[in-house]
A and B are shown apart, each in its own frame.
Chain A
Amino acid sequence: MIALAYVVMMGLVALLSPAIAGTKPLVCSYQGKLYFPALGYFNRSWENAVFRKDRFRNVYPAKLREKDPASWAIWPLVYQDPYRRVRDGEWPDQPANPTRDEGRPNRFNLFGTNRAGVDVFAQMVHGARTALLVGFVSMGIATTIGVIVGATAGFFGGWIDTALSRLIEVVMCVPSLVLILALIAVLERPTIWHLMAVLGVTGWTGIARLTRAEFLRLKELDYVVAARAIGVGRTAIMFRHLMRNAMAPVLVPVTFGIASAILTESALSFLGFGAPPPNPSWGALLNDGRGNQQMWWLIVFPGVAIFLTVLAYNLIGEGLQESTDPRLAGAE
């Protein structure tokens, strides 16, 4: 239950990250029009071009007042930016972020700052987005492939099953971490999406095997035979009768998979092969901390965040397993 609440909270943090920490207004009225500059944190191009044209240089509070005295804006909870150092006087009564190893946690930098003076709290909040995105997108790809392959193999059987099962075994032998490292070495501009794609296309084997086994088990059940006897078509049997009943146990490895994808991303970022530098990532923060061991805040906060998130997903997976496995449910 606590794990579920934590995961929901993380999801909200990731989704609302620009509202929690940022230097761009959530909503602002500028020269008589409404804008949502904070969306720029999700995607560069969503930030309205007018602000670049008017040379805001990402410093909104002063420029807004200067260029349009009638403007107004709603600001994030914390005025800090995950990409750059906040300077003196940007925000009323807020001093510039300390640099080098002086940025220990304080009133303005809750989790401290790194060597360049970028706020750790803001990076953590925006890093949550990266972490969850990696978890969900890569497992989304893996689940899609895995369920389709597993369902096809289990449903049709025969040589299709043999062929797909061998394919599963081949893919299982591919070391995903090494593949990612190779890919990053080859690509000119690796992005986080490449990483997710690799994690996705190598991580589906477990799900495929489980789906196949579930299908093999379910298709012998009387209600499936009854549906065949009624004359229900193959597709309807596959989706209406088999898929729905097979999905509950398949969710279990998916949640474990999310946890492991988050861990892999952090590990890669820690090694410096993850999301390229300006992207905030928990692993990258840890990597920062590795070189500056006296700056404990660079290690403790992201470390705890990774630990808790992975733990929460594993607990959810375990809970799902218990509630879907009748033998474990009976042990209550």
Chain B
Amino acid sequence: MSNSVIDIKNLRTYFHTEEGVVRAVDDISFRVDEGRTLGIVGESGSGKSVTSLSIMRLLAGSARIESGSIALLGKDLVGLPEPQMRSIRGSDVSMIFQEPMTSLNPVFTVGDQIIEALRLHQKLSKSEARRRTIELLDEVGIPEPAVRVDSYPHQMSGGQKQRVMIAMALSCNPKLLIADEPTTALDVTIQAQILEILRRLRDTRGMSILFITHDLGVIAEIADDVLVMFRGKMVEYGSVLEIFENPQHPYTKGLLSCRPRLNTPYRLLPTVADFMQTVQEPLPDGSMTTRVIETKLSEDDIRRMTSHGRGRLLHSKSELATLGHPWTDGLLAPDTQSVEEGTKPLLAVDDLRVHFPIKRGVFSRVVGHVKAVDGVSFNVYRGQTLGLVGESGCGKTTAGRAILRLVDPTSGSIRFDGIDVASLQGAALKKMRSRLQIIFQDPYGSLNPRMTIESTLIEPMAVHGLGTNRADRRDRAVELLREVDLPPDHLRRYPHEFSGGQRQRICIARALAVEPEFIVCDESVSALDVSVQAQVLNLLKALQEKRGLTYIFISHDLSVVKFMADMMAVMNAGKIVEFGPSEAIYADPQQEYTRRLIAATPDDDVQDIRRRVAARQAATAD
């Protein structure tokens, strides 16, 4: 029996708000042993972050630990006076956060910030602390640490900043590292590197890690044990293999299957709601609790989800051949089709370039250009979904916006249904806007907070003269809400009354209000919880089928793009590096960059988990 680093028993943390008591953490027990990693997984609002903040005793004013014990190295932290708690934070247990951009103070060099942390807990001279800092930076894989120690945060990339945060957290040799969504804001390739560093540190230092994330793929990559949280409650707790191989709780089953895997057989994603229903029940003290009723996914359901709708719709065979992914029957699903030779594409983008000038000085002299999109060409056929995938800054969003003329292209041609979009002006452009629509990433920023849902949906109709009068438009708005599975009584409400997933549905309804033929989905599901993401993806697929829509689906998440897209374009540094059928690109990537991207995508295949667990056991047995 190895020694536990942290042992939590029956922890309850409640928020005391004006509306009553909210049980953010409700009876959680777990332990993390030396050198082990516990992954806590759950959706936003499940209480996973509150758990970590309870351990650090960094809770906001209205939250209180009601009962339970938190034993760190045998010492109970609940009720420990603040000064003693302060000396524990950063030395025995330290924490890294999601947002590396805001966790570092911009006016100090990264070295100064680590040196400060070092000298706060250890009696070190300045030069010793500096030497130690360089060692730490080296340990977390910062190149040329002796030089970078004097860099300011803005001179580093997001991944490097997160490494600096890890170095800072490591500065006093903590026994426990709490990582709260440390890779969520990072690109997949960077995420893979950070996970690798955390794994290495765990092994070389024998450190324990409490890893909090909403992403089961990341959990599968790093955790030894997994705790699944749902609305403040612990619904499942076990080894990573148990959880992935044989999940017990319906919520875990739902979470596992609603993730679009790179090799998913589904065409519609199962959602958590397919596995369970929840009932809100009041408790004697007036707070609410959630009871879960399991529902079984029937054989019919599974058949429906695997065989729903049409198969992939690819470019014509001659085009596929020129793209370097020729039509091969064996590789593709039997009902995959290709468009007939000679069909005109709905959207033809040729050598599109968008350059942003960099201006300096008083007279705004142009000193150079950022080549956001640098010579991109592709065709999209009616009814197809084209996936644009790439890391942040690769130009995929700019390309999408240029097609809609939300940014002006520098050169190149965009032809939609034979019309040159790039040169449209005035009324013709306005008319084109009703045919092309966009759905954004951030469900909170994409609705005007001071407009009711009714005015939000009616505005586009009024702009384009759809519907005869207000009453008629209202009826159409009700119809649109029904189409995105929202009840019509939502019309009178304001955006802040809705959850992220509901808002995204409203955004979809707004885009549909002008009866478009073509929609750019710009990271439209990236900000949503996985179970909500599955619902929205299903909705987008259903709408495509019903209305014959054509999509460009932009995402950094290869697995989501592969689930949605018929054809996939991989972008890097403003250029398309690989273009072909999604399946073919995944099965047989031609480019080094694509291979890296696929390898970095977190993978929760049970075989791979078993292999990793075996490797871990072999390593610890030595």
Partner-B contacts on A (CB < 8 A): 221-223, 225-233, 236, 240-241, 244-245
Q: Pick the contact of B451 from A222, A225, A240 — CB < 8 Å?
A: A240
B418-455: contact bitstring with A at CB < 8 Å (1 yes, 0 no)? 00000000000111011011101110011111110000
Q: B450 touching A244 by the CB < 8 A rule?
A: yes
CB distance from B433 to the nearest CB of A (A): 3
Does residue B406 face the partner (Cβ distance < 8 Å to A)? yes
Q: B459 touching A240 by the CB < 8 A rule?
A: yes
**A–B pairs, 20, beta carbons within 8 Å:** A222-B440, A222-B446, A225-B401, A226-B438, A226-B440, A226-B446, A227-B459, A229-B433, A229-B436, A230-B513, A230-B514, A231-B431, A231-B433, A231-B434, A232-B463, A233-B463, A240-B451, A241-B451, A244-B448, A244-B450
Q: A223 touching B445 by the CB < 8 A rule?
A: yes
Most buried by B among A221, A230, A236: A230
Q: B459 touching A226 by the CB < 8 A rule?
A: no
Residue in A closest to B522 when the chains form the complex, CB atoms: A222
CB distance from A177 to the nearest CB of B (A): 32
Given contacts A222-B440, A222-B445, A240-B459, contact A229 B404 (CB under 8 A): yes
Q: B433 touching A245 by the CB < 8 A rule?
A: no
User: DSSP majority for the B interface?
Assistant: loop
Given contacts A226-B510, A240-B451, A245-B450, contact A232 B459 (CB under 8 A): yes
B438 neighbours in A (Cβ, 8 Å): 225-226, 229
A222 neighbours in B (Cβ, 8 Å): 440-442, 445-446
Known: A227-B448, A230-B434. 19 other contacts (CB 8 A): A221-B446, A222-B441, A225-B406, A226-B438, A226-B507, A229-B406, A229-B433, A229-B436, A230-B513, A231-B429, A231-B464, A231-B514, A232-B459, A236-B459, A240-B451, A241-B451, A245-B448, A245-B449, A245-B450
Q: A230 touching B510 by the CB < 8 A rule?
A: yes
Given contacts A223-B446, A223-B447, A241-B448, contact A230 B433 (CB under 8 A): yes
A142 to B464, CA, bound (A): 37
A240 neighbours in B (Cβ, 8 Å): 448, 451, 459
A126 to B15, CA, bound (A): 52
Does residue B326 face the partner (Cβ distance < 8 Å to A)? no
Given contacts A221-B445, A222-B445, A240-B459, contact A229 B437 (CB under 8 A): yes
Does residue B412 face the partner (Cβ distance < 8 Å to A)? no
B448 neighbours in A (Cβ, 8 Å): 223, 227, 240-241, 244-245
Residue in A closest to B513 when the chains form the complex, CB atoms: A230
A230 neighbours in B (Cβ, 8 Å): 433-434, 437, 459-460, 463-464, 510, 513-514
CB distance from A227 to the nearest CB of B (A): 7
A223 neighbours in B (Cβ, 8 Å): 445-448
A70 to B314, CA, bound (A): 100
Residue in A closest to B444 when the chains form the complex, CB atoms: A222
A232 neighbours in B (Cβ, 8 Å): 459-460, 463
A231 neighbours in B (Cβ, 8 Å): 429-431, 433-434, 460, 463-464, 514
B451-483: contact bitstring with A at CB < 8 Å (1 yes, 0 no)? 100000001100110000000000000000000
Residue in B closest to A245 when the chains form the complex, CB atoms: B450
A240 to B401, CA, bound (A): 23
Residue in A closest to B439 when the chains form the complex, CB atoms: A226
A64 to B292, CA, bound (A): 84
B404 neighbours in A (Cβ, 8 Å): 229
B492-511: contact bitstring with A at CB < 8 Å (1 yes, 0 no)? 00000000000000010010
Residue in A closest to B514 when the chains form the complex, CB atoms: A230
CB distance from A250 to the nearest CB of B (A): 14
A236 to B460, CA, bound (A): 11
In the A-B complex, the 8 residue pairs with the smallest Cβ-Cβ separation, listed nearest first, are: A231-B433, A222-B446, A222-B440, A231-B430, A230-B460, A222-B445, A223-B448, A244-B450
